[in-house]
Structure 1
Amino acid sequence: MRSYLLHRLWQSAVTLVLATIVVFLGVRALPGDPALAFAGEERDPASLAAIRERLGLNDSLVVQYGKFVLGALRGDLGTSTRTGIPVSTMIGTGLPVTIELSLLALLVAIVLGVTTGVVAAVRRGRPAEWFANALALLGLSVPNFWLGLIAILYLAVGLGLFPASGFVPFGEDPVANLHHLVLPALVLGTGIAAIVMRQTRSAMLESLGADYIRTARAKGASPRAVIGRHALRNSLVVVVTVVGLQLGILISGAVVTERIFGLPGFGKMTIDAVFQRDYPVIQGVVLVTAAAYILINFLVDVAYSLIDPRIRVAGGQS
C-alpha cells in the first residue's frame, strides 16, 4: 500500500510541475498586452515602459517562470494588476463558494444518478428503465444555462421558492446559505447525474450478469444483499471514477452557473481576469484548478485501493 501511494504521489508531483509550465506559457499566449490593459488612457511610451518594468514583463520567460514557481511554493501567487489585491486573497474568497456549490451539485448527481442507475439495471426492460433513460437523455441534452434560466423564471420568480440570485456565507446564516445554493446545485448537478446514471447502469448490468452474483443467489442471499453488497459494491470502481472526474469538471466548469445566479465564485473572477489580461489572477485560478484535478485523481486512486484490493496489489507490484 505504501509503495503504491508513493508511486502515485510521484506521478502527481510530476504532473503538477508540467501543469505549471502549461499554465505559465498558456497565459502568455493569450492575445493582447497586459500593460496596455492596465495603462488605460495613459498609453504613452514612458508609462507603458514603467508598467512593464513593475509587472516584470521585461524579464525573460525563464526568469518570469522561476518567480512564478517560487512564489507559488510560498503561497504567493502574485498581486492582481487591476485591483492590487493579492491573488491568494481573491482565490480564498471565491474558491469556497465554488467548492460548496460543486459539492452540493455532486451530492445531487450521486443521489439521483446512482439511484436511477441501479433501478434501471435491476428493472431492465421495464417502464422504470425507460423512465430513467428518458431522464438521463433529458439531462444530457438540456444546456445548464437554459435550465438555469428556466429554473429562475418558474421556481424563483414565479413561485418564489428560491432566491433568484445572490449568496450568503455559511458562517453568517447556514439556512440562508443552503437556500441560495439549492437551485444552482440542482441545475449544475442535473447533467452530471445523467452521466453517473448511465455509467452506474452499465456497471450494474455487467455485475448482475457475473458468476459470483449467480453463486450468491444460489446460496439464498436476499435480493437486497445481492444488489447492495455484491453488485453495487463491485460497480463502485466505475462510479468513483466518474464522480472523481466530474468533481474536477464541476470546480472549473461552474462558471456559467455562477454567472447566471450571481454567485461570487471562480466564474466572475476568471472571466474578469481574462478580459482584463490580469496575468497573476489567470495563473492563480488555472493553477489552483489544475492542482484540484491532480488531488482529486490521487484521492480516486486511493479510493480504488479501498474498494478493490486487487488494484492496490497491482499498483504495489508495478
Structure 2
Amino acid sequence: MRSYLLNRLWQSALTLVLATIVVFLGVRALPGDPALAFAGEERDPASLAALRERLGLDDSIIVQYGKFVLGALQGDFGSSTRTGIPVSTMIATALPVTIELSLLAMLVAVVLGVSTGVVAAVRRGRPAEWFANGLALLGLSVPNFWLGLIAILYLSVGLGVFPASGFVPLTQNPIDNLHHLVLPALVLGTGIAAVVMRQTRSAMLDSLGADYIRTARAKGVSPRGVIGRHALRNSLVVVTTIVGLQLGILISGAVVTEGIFSLPGFGKMTIDAVFQRDYPVLQGVVLVTATAYIVINFLVDLAYSLIDPRIRVAGEPA
C-alpha cells in the first residue's frame, strides 16, 4: 500500500507539472494582446510599453513561466489586469460557490443514479427497467441550458417555488443558500445521474451473474442482503470511478449552469477572463481546476481498497 501511495503521489505531481505547462502556454496561445485589451482606447506607445513592463510581458517565456510557478507555489497568482484585485482573493470568493454547487449536483446524481440503476438491474426486463432506461436516455439527451430555462420558467416564474437567479453565501443564511442552489443542482445533476445510472446498472448485472452471488443465495442470504451487501458493494468500484471523474468535470464544467442562474462561481470568472484577455485570472482558474481534478482522481484511487479490500494495489494486497 505504501509503494502504491508513493507511486500515485509521484504520478500526480508529474501530472500537475505538465498541467502548469499546458495552462501557461495555452493561455498565451489565445489571440489578442492583453496589454492592448487592458489599455483600452488610450494606446499610445509609451503607455503600452509601461504596461507591458508592469505585466512582465516583455520577459522571455521561460522567465514568465518561472515566475508563474514560483508564485503559484506560494498561492500567489498575481493580480487581475482588469480590476487589480489579487487572483487568489477572486478564487477564494468564487471557488466555494462552484464547489457547493458541484457537491449538491453530485449528491443528486448519486442518489438518483444509483437507486434507479439498482432497480433497473434487479427488475431487468420489467416495466421498472424500461422506465429507468427512459429517464436515463432523457437525462443524456436534454441539454443543461434548455432544462435550466424550462425549470426557471415553470418552477421559478410560474410556481415561485425556487428563485430564478442569485446567490446567498452559506455563512450568511444557510436556508436561503440551499434555496438558491437546489434548482441549479437538480439541473446540473440530472445529466450526471443518467451516466451513473447506466454504469450502476451494467456493474450490477455483472455482479448478479457472478458465482459468489449464486453461492450467497444458496446459503439462504435474503434477497436484500444479496443485493446490498454483495452485488451493490462490488459494483461501487465502477460507480466510484464514474463519480470521481464526473465531480472533476462538474467543478470545471458548470459554466453554463452558473451563467443561467447568475451564480458568481468559476464559470462567470472564466468567461470574463477569456473575453478580457486577463492572463493571471485565467491561469489561476484553470490551474486550480486542474489541481482539483488531480486530487479527486487520487482520492478515488485510494477509495478502491476501502470499497473492496480484495483489490490488489501496485501488486500488493490492499
Instruction: Indicate the TM-score class for this superposition, using the shorter chain for normalisation.
Output: over 0.9
Q: How far 1:301 moved relative to its partner?
A: 0.3
Tell me the secondary structure at the aligned position of residue 116 of structure 1. Answer: helix
What corresponds to 1:208 in structure 2? Answer: 208
Query: Is the CA contact (8 Å cut-off) linking 2:102 and 2:250 kept in structure 1?
Result: yes
Match of 1:158 in 2: 158
Q: What pairs up with 1:184-223 in 2 under 5 angstroms? A: 184-223=184-223
- Kindly state the Cα deviation for residue 315 of structure 1 after the two structures are TM-superposed: 4.7
Q: CA deviation at 1:316?
A: 4.1
Name the % identity. 88
CA distance in 2, matches of 1:63, 1:309: 47
Render the CA deviation track for 1:157-192: whole Å, top value 9, x for unaligned: 000000000000011110000000000000000000
Q: Partner of 1:309: helix, strand, or coil?
A: coil
Residue 95 of structure 1 aligns with which residue?
Answer: 95
CA apart distance, 1:314: 3.7
The amino acid that maps onto 2:130 is W
Q: Give the Cα separation in 2 of the matches to 1:299 and 1:20.
A: 21
CA distance in 2, matches of 1:300, 1:123: 29
Residues 245-264 of structure 1: per-residue CA shift (max 9 Å, x gap): 00000001101000100100
What CA distance in whole angstroms lies between the structure 2 residues aligned with 1:22 and 1:31? 16
Offset of 1:152 from its aligned partner?
Answer: 0.1
**Residues 168-187 of structure 1: pairs in structure 2 closer than 5 A:** 168-187=168-187
The residue number in structure 1 matching 2:286 is 286
Query: How big is the shift at 1:307?
Result: 1.4
In structure 2, the residue matched to 1:253 is 253
CA contact (8 A) 2:3 2:314 kept: no
TM-score, structure 2 as length reference: 0.98
Find the residue that maps to 2:83 and give its secondary structure: coil
Pairing 1:10–2:23 present: no
1:274-306 CA distances to partner (integer Å, 9 max, x unpaired)? 000000000000000000010000000000121
Q: Which residue number in structure 2 is paired with residue 269 of structure 1?
A: 269
Contact 2:200 2:235 in 1 (8 A): yes
Unaligned runs of 5+ in 1: none
Structure 2 residues not aligned, in runs of 5+:
none
Q: Is the 8 A contact 2:36 2:43 kept in 1?
A: yes
**TM-score w.r.t. structure 1 length?**
0.98
- The alignment partner of 1:133 has SS state of helix
Judge conservation of contact 1:304–1:312 (CA < 8 Å) in 2.
no
- Counterpart in the other structure of 1:81: 81
**Partners of 1:3 and 1:271 in 2: how far apart?**
41
Shift in Å, 1:196: 0.1
Size of the aligned set, in residue pairs, is 317
Computed over aligned residues only, the root mean square deviation of the Cα atoms, in angstroms, reads 0.9
Partner of 1:132: 132
Indicate the residue corresponding to 1:147 in structure 2.
Answer: 147
CA contact (8 A) 1:87 1:281 kept: yes
Correspondence 1:104 to 2:104: yes
